[in-house]
Chain A
């Protein structure tokens, strides 16, 4: 039995890339949600949280239509000479980013909120510009939140199945990630292979979450004022 590493690498790459993108775009969204007093921030909150309740197939279905050759985003990407995103790795990244968004925005939002206004004000009276304050005070103090966000989005992306199947299909080396590979093996009655991947995924997820909880416990102790 030859172990096929390809889905493993592909999954890790997808989770890594998605997490990085999510941290970059999720941070300003979470910061804005924590600071804004606008009435429409509740709408944004609800939109960001949608993937928590929607079946992945619904999300995947709409993404497929939007990104497809007849969809608005699809037309745009075609006119830019990028082709269409469905059934490509890029398409998977876009889907994962949307799908895992709440897992990044919510822990960051909580972290920013519990930080309060005071440390930022103190930094302002000590001559730090808004960007400077964010980098030297907010990010270090919200570190547990960033850690939780990164781990949750990574782990959640690894576990996704429905969205991937809808938008990525099952192309080896391009969109065939772990969860799809396991499904494949079960379909073709290769229970040995399926066991190997499933058990590996189970163990990996447990270790990651355990590490997160241990680390967060330690960070919180260190940050007692």
Chain B
């Protein structure tokens, strides 16, 4: 059973947590929701840091908790990255990294020390004291420290939220490569749709201690009935593969079964999996495929449904030929003028695309 199954019920004051979901034991599953929705409570219970009166936690074929059993946190092979790095101030950086590493029997260490140090770019920090590190460096050490226990499940509680924008941008690529490099399934708590779009494969959306949606990140992020799409920066995620590079105009072509997308040239091998993010506000709609436009990325699509987000604007959810979802934000006036209705075939003109990974 290559999956992670979590089912937790607990009553804390007037907060009622009742969360159940099952997710494949690979890639990143984001626990998404506002603060107070119970995301962190779920993570803490999965880690065994709190004991819920009723609960089931199963990782692959190992049951960490059910009605009869409760494995304490230190017996669960997991890695936990807290919101603040929480490095041990009495130990050097190297000692911090070795703290968990030494406590894992040698034959169970699957991730070489050196690989982690290299992946997170912390080789030059090893001899330093924790006090001398910047916020971003501290969080990288904390991630490395968790990885070095060779966890079978990685739990991350908004690891970027305590960092400023710059530090966040430097850490995100490390997190992305981490999931490419090591095949450790992770639960990633976040309230930031952009972070989720970059990192997550699947999403579980929580509200007031309950699961209100779960599924593929690309699908969930573009669902119009969820609060996510109402965000000013509603966006869609498309998966494809790098198909070719255009040396003349310095472009990289990403192909999906629903059409080709050009992005600014990136040095990626042809055939590599690529994920792009498209802001709904950057997608305009047209009834015909224009060739007399400056826009390169024009994708055929079909209207699935629409949703008014204000008196002026609306979101249109489109399905591409390969079934992937694309969101477009247009004015209600244009929609009326074009006669947009469900099932209608049209062309999405994409003005700007961000290559995520």
Interface residues of A (CB under 8 A from B): 118-119, 121-130, 132-133, 136-137, 140-141, 143, 223-225
| A122 with B82, Cβ < 8 A, contacts A128-B74, A129-B74, A140-B90 known | yes
> How far in angstroms is the closest Cβ of chain B from A37?
13
CA–CA, A204 and B95, complex, Å: 39
Q: How many residues of B contact A (CB 8 A)?
A: 24
CA–CA, A125 and B73, complex, Å: 6
| A224 with B146, Cβ < 8 A, contacts A118-B86, A122-B86, A125-B78 known | no
A125 contact set on B, CB distance < 8 A: 47, 49, 73-74, 78-80, 100, 146
Q: Which one of A118, A121, A224 contacts B73 once the chains associate, using CB atoms below 8 Å?
A: A121
A140 contact set on B, CB distance < 8 A: 90
Asked if A127 contacts B149 (CB within 8 A), the reply is yes
When C-beta atoms are compared, the residue in chain B nearest to A140 turns out to be B90
Interface residues of B (CB under 8 A from A): 47-49, 72-74, 78-80, 82, 84, 86, 88-90, 99-100, 103-104, 130-131, 145-146, 149
Asked if A128 contacts B103 (CB within 8 A), the reply is yes
CA–CA, A129 and B74, complex, Å: 6
B47 contact set on A, CB distance < 8 A: 125
B78 contact set on A, CB distance < 8 A: 125
> How far in angstroms is the closest Cβ of chain B from A133?
8
Q: Which one of B72, B84, B103, B131 contacts A126 once the chains associate, using CB atoms below 8 Å?
A: B103
A123 contact set on B, CB distance < 8 A: 74, 88, 99
| A124 with B131, Cβ < 8 A, contacts A119-B86, A141-B90, A223-B90 known | no
Asked if B100 contacts A124 (CB within 8 A), the reply is no
Name 25 A/B residue pairs within 8 A (Cβ), A-sorted.
A118-B82, A119-B86, A119-B88, A121-B73, A121-B80, A123-B99, A124-B48, A124-B74, A125-B47, A125-B49, A125-B73, A125-B100, A125-B146, A126-B99, A126-B145, A126-B149, A127-B103, A127-B104, A127-B149, A129-B74, A132-B74, A137-B88, A140-B90, A143-B90, A223-B90
A118 contact set on B, CB distance < 8 A: 82, 84, 86
Query: Which 4 A-B residue pairs are closest in the complex by CB-CB distance?
Result: A126-B100, A125-B80, A127-B103, A124-B73
When C-beta atoms are compared, the residue in chain B nearest to A129 turns out to be B74
> How far in angstroms is the closest Cβ of chain A from B144?
12
Asked if B90 contacts A122 (CB within 8 A), the reply is no
The residue among B49, B78, B146 with the most chain A CB atoms within 10 A of its own CB is: B49
B149 contact set on A, CB distance < 8 A: 126-127
> How far in angstroms is the closest Cβ of chain A from B47?
6
User: Beyond the given A125-B49, A126-B146, A137-B88, could you list 10 further A-B residue pairs with CB under 8 A, ordered by the A residue number?
Assistant: A123-B88, A123-B99, A125-B73, A126-B149, A127-B103, A127-B104, A128-B74, A129-B74, A223-B89, A225-B131
The residue among A124, A132, A137 with the most chain B CB atoms within 10 A of its own CB is: A124
> How far in angstroms is the closest Cβ of chain A from B154?
11
B100 contact set on A, CB distance < 8 A: 125-127
B74 contact set on A, CB distance < 8 A: 123-130, 132-133
> How far in angstroms is the closest Cβ of chain B from A119?
6
CA–CA, A124 and B145, complex, Å: 13
CA–CA, A140 and B91, complex, Å: 10
B130 contact set on A, CB distance < 8 A: 225
B88 contact set on A, CB distance < 8 A: 119, 122-123, 137, 141
CA–CA, A54 and B95, complex, Å: 47
CA–CA, A121 and B90, complex, Å: 16
> How far in angstroms is the closest Cβ of chain B from A180?
42
When C-beta atoms are compared, the residue in chain B nearest to A223 turns out to be B89
Asked if A124 contacts B90 (CB within 8 A), the reply is no
The residue among A125, A223, A224 with the most chain B CB atoms within 10 A of its own CB is: A125
Asked if A124 contacts B104 (CB within 8 A), the reply is no
> How far in angstroms is the closest Cβ of chain B from A86?
44
> How far in angstroms is the closest Cβ of chain B from A47?
30
| A141 with B73, Cβ < 8 A, contacts A125-B146, A127-B104 known | no
A136 contact set on B, CB distance < 8 A: 99
A122 contact set on B, CB distance < 8 A: 80, 82, 86, 88
> How far in angstroms is the closest Cβ of chain B from A114?
13
B49 contact set on A, CB distance < 8 A: 121, 124-125
Asked if A141 contacts B104 (CB within 8 A), the reply is no
CA–CA, A223 and B89, complex, Å: 6
Q: Which one of A121, A124, A132, A225 contacts B89 once the chains associate, using CB atoms below 8 Å?
A: A225
> How far in angstroms is the closest Cβ of chain A from B97?
10
When C-beta atoms are compared, the residue in chain A nearest to B155 turns out to be A125
Q: Which one of B84, B103, B104, B131 contacts A224 once the chains associate, using CB atoms below 8 Å?
A: B131
A126 contact set on B, CB distance < 8 A: 74, 99-100, 103, 145-146, 149
Q: Which one of B72, B79, B84, B146 contacts A124 once the chains associate, using CB atoms below 8 Å?
A: B72
B146 contact set on A, CB distance < 8 A: 125-126
